[in-house]
Structure 1
Amino acid sequence: MDDIVIAGISGRLPESNNLEEFWENLINGVDMVTEDDRRWTPGLYGLPKRNGKLKDISHFDAAFFGVHPKQANTMDPQLRLMLEIAYESIVDGGLNPAALRGSKTGVYIGVSGSEAGEAFSRDPEELLGYSMTGCQRAMLANRLSYFFDFSGPSTAIDTACSSSLLALENAFHGIRQGHCDAALVGGVNLLLKPNTSVQFMKLGMLSPEGTCKSFDASGNGYCRSEAAVAVLLTKRSMAKRVYATVLNAGNNTDGYKEQGVTFPSGEMQQRLVRSLYQAANITPEQVEYVEAHGTGTKVGDPQEVNGIVSVFCDSRSEPLLIGSTKSNMGHPEPASGLSALAKVVLSLERGVWAPNLHYNSANADIPALSDGRVQVVDRPIPIRGGIVGINSFGFGGSNVHVILRPAEKSTDTAAPPRTLPRVLQACGRTEEAVKALLQKGKEHAADENFLSLLNEVSGAPTSSMPFRGYTLIGSQSDVSEVQQGQAAPRPIWYICSVGKYDHYL
């Protein structure tokens, strides 16, 4: 059976316009949770003053995505973001989105609500109808399938905080069972008005300081956050690049609990995780790192980590490494699973585990933190290459776990030097974008795989990418040119001549 791999990824995270910025913030220990009035006045209604916010949600290239301005103005910013990062994740995989048109590609999006939809439909006399197609949760998947012309399953999934990792689990099994050949998987969450935060605060779930102190003794709730992440999942035989292999994925639900519907069940989490590793024939000792749900709540952290310990730590010679990206950026709820995946993928690419923040003293209700069976990654730690697990749990009891195997590093350390210059092509919406791509190619002139990926995605139609450019890699002279192409295809001219003067043509 062909392996299923993570072949492309893109995202917007708090204080991070792209995954490069996200990694710099992670590895440098930047707290991406901030106090400012980008969404509402800090402290409004007694809310925590800090939360995680995207830098910019106001811009959208409607023409590129075939959206009429009237529709764009009443389209949920969550959908606008998903269109952008979905496109980017395909290109990141070295694939031209146009080449996938008509393919049996699935779309699975984790999303829990549309605060924009509620705002747009407040006054019935001002309704235009466009907010229905722009804000319905189904459209976060269906609009992507429509734009890319995908014919596979198209599903929006809501299990609260586990939504996006459940979307990945659904996509994994969809490919494995033949429902689709590849899949776009996404998760998105925006905090556009304070009402939802007020409700979580009334339920006692939020940290008064606005900090996820994962696994720490002072953990007293979680901090809400925004995120949008998209992942391209394909069979290995189709992939142009491989970030990691998905070995197994599954989900279950807590069922009835005397303590109430939002009380986590460590027993059911443990049962899920154990069954997945047994099915994949992976021993606990092979697992190097678990990216935990780790919200920093009094009840949730002990239930989760004590369950992890029961599965993985009976006969280990070295401590199991754990972490939670929520300590760095807050909890983006339905997008949290893919945000955690993004951190894991970036760490695997760089060969070092990004550190947790706000971990100072071990939670006394998690004995394994004190006796050394489990170690919180609170500083950059080199990766050994073992198996990785990712947890994601919904507050209604929906549990998801995914198992990843790191991509094998290429052994071709020294490719034979090129004797001839290589043409590098690029296309973009603007002249500046094309120049930036060509410059990036020059910076990575020795990376043949990267140059091949850039050339592969340079054939987008001029109607969507009107600027074209090229440069010569490995040339003594700085040969480079960028021009704006014709939006419509050039007409084909035929010249026919018969007679004694045809040699002049």
Structure 2
Amino acid sequence: MNANDIRRIILEEIRSEQLTPEEGYELLSAFSEAHHALPETNDSPKSDISKDIAVIGISGRFPGAPNINDLWENLIHGVDSITEVPIEHWNVPQHEGYKKWAGLLDTTDHFDPLFFKISPNEAECMDPQQRLFLEEAWRAFEDAGYSASSLSGTNCGVFAGVLSNGYEQNLKKIGKEMGSNVLTGVGSAYLPGRVSYFLNLLGPNMAIDTACSSSLVAVHQACQSLRIGECEMALAGGVNVLVSPDLHNMANDGGMLAKNGRCKTFDNSADGFVPGEAVCAIVLKPLMKAIEDKDYIYGVIKGSGINQDGKTNGMTAPSSHSQSRLQNQVYEKFNLNPSHISYVEAHGTGTKLGDPIEVSALSQTFKNYTSNTGYCAIGSIKTNIGHTLAAAGIVSLIKVILCMKHKTLVPSLHYTLENEHLNLKHTPFYVNSKTKHWAKQGILPRTAAINSFGLSGTNCHVVVQEWESN
């Protein structure tokens, strides 16, 4: 009988109420301490369950998919959800070249303010990012099985990745008076604040802006808050809505956009990203508490961390060294072994030099633990729906959790010829370009990493594992 078997028996006795959660926790902690002193074997990762965070609710809207079920159907069938931007979307005369393409949500202008006890006049001044996040937060709690009345007055935190999108400029164009409703309607802090206000949640509440890594940083901050007992349950999420062509203009000036509107991650023709919209939220709880409360568990966050690049070749230039340093810190702190990771959801923006920097960092980290090559799949959902900016990290996490739920790896699109700077045959990685069964490594639960980095230099790395209830 190995370490995993013993942990599984203890967890099963907690679920069947043969042990109280407190007794089970003491046994698991004692076992972890004893097990850490033993030599590590390939089939017995030495993780500490007391730090594990359960994902117990999920909701989201994505380009071409109004919910996670439709997103999954698109992923397994390799659907590219990038479309031409309708002329009326931004109310400008025409879209040419780089402005033609985006991953867009449907009906971002639909909202029932009275349901959320918001006056129609106030709702008109609300950035659609606020409206959408409020709706998906409600749906995530609903998916987790928690009603508004059961949440009211609880120590539940809200953490949201969000960037300012300039919606106030749209309001000015239509002659909207810049009053208090606009102040609360466009300020980033009010986006998570509305969730806590509406549901009477008393835990920590914060909007997080680390550019492209914002929502995965929000997940990390939520996990940290749960681990230290700052809150007992948390909602983490991210949102990005393109309310004008300004982002396209600025990103194009920086040479960041793909000319044909396709994110060709890891491919030799990679030439940039295409912007996308999404809004997502997940509900988190310490694993031991989720087991005690008999919550449905989608997956388990085993470890997470953040750091900053510091000084690089330029403020927007990613650092392979800093990314690898962070990854090693996460694996060491949470006693994780990347040789047990069989899938990595990469940041993967699809640039000729950015993708190799990310793969180089991951390769260096993994090689500190294993010399095996070609055993770990890698991909990016940006090839399906574009780069959803502040929502990108949590979109990637949701993709991984869905893959675990269905025990299936889905294709990373637009991959024909390997980027000449990657040299994947000498790394642990291969680009997964087809739908296939996600095989386990022996008896080990399926384990994946999500990598994210922001244009301002903030990196985030999260490791998630499937939940085996039997």
TM-score (norm 2): 0.84
Pick aligned residue for 1:270 from 313, 320, 324: 324
Matched, 1:345 2:394: no
Distance in structure 2 (CA, Å) of the matches to 1:264 and 1:205: 14
**Count of residue correspondences:** 408
Pick aligned residue for 2:456 from 381, 384, 396: 396
Q: What amino acid is the match of 1:26?
A: L
Q: CA deviation at 1:42?
A: 9.3
Distance in structure 1 (CA, Å) of the matches to 2:109 and 2:210: 27
Superimposed CA distance per residue, residues 211-261 of structure 1 (whole angstroms, 9 cap, x where no aligned partner): 11001000000110000000101122235111111111110000011x210
Q: What amino acid is the match of 2:422?
A: I
Residue of structure 1 equivalent to 2:89:
39
Distance in structure 2 (CA, Å) of the matches to 1:2 and 1:293: 25
Distance in structure 1 (CA, Å) of the matches to 2:176 and 2:354: 45
Contact 2:236–2:283 at 8 Å: present in 1 too? Answer: yes
Residue of structure 2 equivalent to 1:127:
178
Change (3 A) 1:307 1:3: closer
Contact 2:366–2:428 at 8 Å: present in 1 too? Answer: no
TM-score (norm 1): 0.78
Matched, 1:374 2:429: yes
Matched, 1:333 2:389: yes
Matched, 1:304 2:358: yes
Contact 1:188–1:334 at 8 Å: present in 2 too? Answer: yes
Contact 2:409–2:435 at 8 Å: present in 1 too? Answer: yes
% of aligned pairs identical?
39
Distance in structure 2 (CA, Å) of the matches to 1:143 and 1:153: 13
Residue of structure 1 equivalent to 2:52:
3
Distance in structure 2 (CA, Å) of the matches to 1:242 and 1:125: 45
Contact 1:217–1:364 at 8 Å: present in 2 too? Answer: yes
Question: SS of the residue aligned with 2:317?
Answer: coil
Contact 2:353–2:421 at 8 Å: present in 1 too? Answer: no
Residue of structure 2 equivalent to 1:457:
none
Distance in structure 2 (CA, Å) of the matches to 1:360 and 1:250: 33
Residue of structure 2 equivalent to 1:316:
372
Distance in structure 1 (CA, Å) of the matches to 2:149 and 2:103: 34
Q: CA deviation at 1:126?
A: 2.7
* Higher RCO, 1 vs 2 (CA within 8 Å, ≥6 residues apart): 2
Q: Which consecutive residues of structure 2, in runs of 5 or more, have no partner in the other structure?
A: 1-49
Q: CA deviation at 1:315?
A: 1.6
Q: CA deviation at 1:43?
A: 6.3
Distance in structure 2 (CA, Å) of the matches to 1:176 and 1:157: 19
Which structure dedicates a bigger proportion of its chain to helix?
A: 2
Contact 2:348–2:379 at 8 Å: present in 1 too? Answer: yes
Residue of structure 2 equivalent to 1:487:
none
Q: CA deviation at 1:44?
A: 2.7
Contact 1:251–1:400 at 8 Å: present in 2 too? Answer: yes
Superimposed CA distance per residue, residues 330-385 of structure 1 (whole angstroms, 9 cap, x where no aligned partner): 000110001111111111111101211101111110112x4573111111122224
Pick aligned residue for 2:333 from 259, 276, 279: 279
Matched, 1:61 2:112: yes
Q: Which runs of 4+ in 1 moved over 6 A?
A: none
Matched, 1:85 2:141: no
Q: What amino acid is the match of 1:3?
A: D
Distance in structure 2 (CA, Å) of the matches to 1:58 and 1:17: 14
Contact 1:161–1:335 at 8 Å: present in 2 too? Answer: yes
Contact 2:222–2:234 at 8 Å: present in 1 too? Answer: yes
Q: Where in structure 2 are the equivalents of 1:63-462 lying within 5 Å?
A: 63-121=114-172, 126-236=177-287, 237-238=289-290, 240-257=295-312, 259-313=313-367, 314-316=370-372, 318-368=374-424, 370-371=425-426, 373-383=428-438, 384=440, 385-408=445-468, 410-411=469-470
Contact 2:103–2:277 at 8 Å: present in 1 too? Answer: yes
Change (3 A) 1:329 1:125: closer
Superimposed CA distance per residue, residues 262-283 of structure 1 (whole angstroms, 9 cap, x where no aligned partner): 1110110011001111122222
Q: Over aligned residues, Cα RMSD in angstroms?
A: 1.7
Question: SS of the residue aligned with 2:282?
Answer: strand
Distance in structure 1 (CA, Å) of the matches to 2:94 and 2:395: 26
Contact 1:109–1:186 at 8 Å: present in 2 too? Answer: yes
Distance in structure 2 (CA, Å) of the matches to 1:75 and 1:396: 27
Question: SS of the residue aligned with 1:57?
Answer: coil
Superimposed CA distance per residue, residues 448-499 of structure 1 (whole angstroms, 9 cap, x where no aligned partner): xxxxxxxxxxxxxxxxxxxxxxxxxxxxxxxxxxxxxxxxxxxxxxxxxxxx
Q: CA deviation at 1:50?
A: 1.3
Change (3 A) 1:123 1:53: closer
Distance in structure 1 (CA, Å) of the matches to 2:179 and 2:327: 47
Q: CA deviation at 1:73?
A: 1.1
Q: What amino acid is the match of 2:371?
A: S
Distance in structure 2 (CA, Å) of the matches to 1:167 and 1:264: 20
Contact 1:42–1:48 at 8 Å: present in 2 too? Answer: no
Change (3 A) 1:407 1:22: same
Q: Which consecutive residues of structure 1, in runs of 5 or more, have no partner in the other structure?
A: 412-505
